[in-house]
Chains A and B, each alone.
Chain A
Amino acid sequence: MKRRWYIPLVALLLAGGMMWLLGRLTRPKYASGPVKEGSMMANYYAHAQEGHELLLIGDCEVYESVSPVVLFSDFGITSYIRGSAQQLMWQSYYLLKETLRYETPKAVVLSVCSLRYDAPQNEAYNRMTLDGMRLGPEKVQSIAASLTEGEGALSYYVPLLRYHSRVFELTAEDVRYLFRDPELTYNGYLMRCEQVPYTWLPQAPVLLSPNFGERPLLYLNKIRDLCQQKGIALILVKSPCLYPAWYPQWDAFLEDYAQKNGLSYLNAIPYMDEMSIDLSTDTYDGGLHLNVYGAEKYTRWLGEKLMDLPFTDNRLDPETAAAYAAMTAAYEQQKQQEGSSHE
């Protein structure tokens, strides 16, 4: 009998295809429910060819605090936020490195809030940052740098290995977003309209070690070097959020770091009055994060600070203006609908 050598090969390909398809089906879609952050990372690739003059990288202190719609409407700056929940400094570095393969912005704004973390924190955050990245050297390196204790890298490449138990919990959403990711942001900005006023925040714990860890600083240096190599201005930002505490020692370190490296460091916390942030209306969770009203105020303040950089007024370009007009209309509609529903 003739030996059919190709049977194992075909079987392997078939199994691989099934695993890929089931992985797509069972992976969480983050389209509805309170956690939307997991879908943001994959959204970028559809916008990568648009070319953005400003790239914002980091955690919730960029993706919930800075509005690209306002940066365009008030300053003519085109921008995109590559942000994810509790994005660690090494994840920011690999995301920046990956993004620079698609485009070269004039400036990068980096949230420094996550400098406080010296080690991977939580698998759920890892998933929200890493699952949506396209397979490439940066994803591989970011996974290797991010694994928490007991986590295996393989399931980041074969999601079915992690999510197969969801096969019994599938909903219509899983089918709807089988081959595409839900787009829930405006160039990476995740809008929150709720208004939960600040009442009280706990006292900051005593800072026993005034220094950031070696690891986040190593990756901060890599981000600095990468931007220098590409001729990109790097701006370090701390958004006007009061919790978790931002210590004067950290502020002093970054002031010094920025000065020594010819960078800008903008800590917005002391300027909350100047930007008219009212914590009775401008936060959606009692002072931890800004809602859209606070984010717009902060964005205007930040935009003014960025005007020293040689940005083009892209409002004068009809094609770009039309694209942003469509996004702005959807943005305003969501703000109106969700804003009134929370009143």
Chain B
Amino acid sequence: MNKKVLTFAAIVLLLGCRSERQGTVYLDPNAPAAPVEAQTQAEEAAPAPTEATAAQALYFEAKGVTLRPGMEAAPVLTALGEPLGAFEADSCAYVGKDRFFHYPGFELTVNEISGVERITLITLVDDTVTTPEGLCIGGREQTVEALLGGQAREGYYTFDDGEVTLVVQVKEGQEPGAFISAIEYRLSEAPKA
């Protein structure tokens, strides 16, 4: 009888252990971070109605290197050389990391996506750099419309090429008319089913 009980118990136990998903238990503090889809609401929600479709692929260029969110980070970082500053942000309890690199005039954010470190955000931080279209921080709002078209809603323009979204924020300053207060390139929001 004892043999029967033990055999039955062992079968139940083994079946139970096979019933849930397999794989490495997520305990390594440096294990892959949440995918970029799991970034903050603020970083994600690009309302479609204001979005203009870019005629050409959107990119930023610095030191002769073409930069686009989604690109693998390692070759880009090598090509750009030593940054002015770098910062690694451990999130709560070290699950996932945001890595930031500060270069003259712009910053790169790097996250791990499906096991590969990729650029997820390019932020222009001052007027020493311009986009290939000629936009720069501090420029007038009219230049956005003249160079890229589109219409601002709630203080920003968005242009999307299907993979990359260019966000241009405008603000009212002391002089009449709005000026460009922020320019960033981010990954396009994944198409909703």
Beta-carbon nearest neighbor of A207 in chain B: B42
Contact flag A247-B40 (CB < 8 Å), given A14-B9, A18-B13: no
**Contacts A7-B4, A201-B87 given; does A37 touch B92 at CB 8 Å:** yes
* Across-interface contacts of A150 in B (CB, < 8 A): 21
Q: Is A244 part of the binding interface, using a Cβ–Cβ cutoff of 8 Å?
A: yes
Q: In chain B, residues 1-40, which have Cβ atoms closer than 8 Å to a Cβ of chain A? A: 1, 4-6, 8-10, 12-13, 16-17, 19-27, 29, 31, 33-34, 38, 40
Verify B9–A116 contact, CB threshold 8 A. Answer: no
Is the CB–CB distance between B20 and A123 below 8 Å? no
Q: Verify B17–A244 contact, CB threshold 8 A.
A: no
User: Contact: A86 with B93, CB < 8 Å?
Assistant: yes
Q: Is the CB of A286 within 8 A of B87?
A: yes
Look across to chain A and name the residue whose beta carbon is closest to the beta carbon of B31.
Answer: A124
Which of B29, B42, B154 meets A35, CB within 8 Å?
B29
Q: Of the listed stretches A137-145, A160-168, A179-187, A290-298, name the one at the interface; the rest are far from the partner chain.
A: A160-168
Contact across chains for B46 and A200 when beta carbons are under 8 A apart = no
- Cβ of B182: which chain A residues have Cβ within 8 Å of it? 203, 206
Does B60 reach chain A (CB closer than 8 Å)? Answer: no
Is A312 close to B, CB under 8 A? no
> A10 is contacted by which of B5, B96, B100 (Cβ under 8 Å)?
B5
Interface size on A, residues (CB 8 A): 64
Decide if A35 touches B16 in the complex (CB within 8 Å). no
In the complex, whether B95 has a CB less than 8 A from a CB of chain A is yes
Task: List B contacts of A245 (CB < 8 A).
Answer: 42
B92 & A12 in contact (Cβ 8 Å cutoff):
no
Chain A residue contacts of B154, Cβ below 8 A: 210
Q: Give the interface size class of chain B.
A: 35 or more
Is A208's CB under 8 angstroms from B95's CB? no
B94 surroundings in chain A (CB, below 8 A) = 34-35
Closest chain A CB from B78 CB (angstroms) = 20
Complex: A117 Cα to B27 Cα, angstroms: 22
Whether A161 and B90, one on each chain, are in contact in the complex, defined by CB atoms closer than 8 angstroms, is: no
Given contacts A10-B5, A11-B5, A161-B20, contact A205 B95 (CB under 8 A): no
Contact in complex: A152, B121 (CB < 8 Å)? no
Query: Does B92 lie within 8 Å of A85, measured CB to CB?
Result: yes
- Whether the pair A37, B93 counts as a contact (CB closer than 8 A) is yes
Judge whether A206 and B41 touch: CB under 8 Å.
Answer: no
B57 CB within 8 Å of chain A: no
| Cβ–Cβ contact B123 & A205, under 8 A | yes
Min CB–CB distance B139 → chain A (angstroms): 16
Q: Which B residues have a C-beta under 8 Å from some C-beta of A?
A: 1, 4-6, 8-10, 12-13, 16-17, 19-27, 29, 31, 33-34, 38, 40-43, 45-47, 85, 87, 89-96, 100, 102, 107, 109, 121, 123, 125, 154, 156, 158, 167, 169, 182, 184, 186
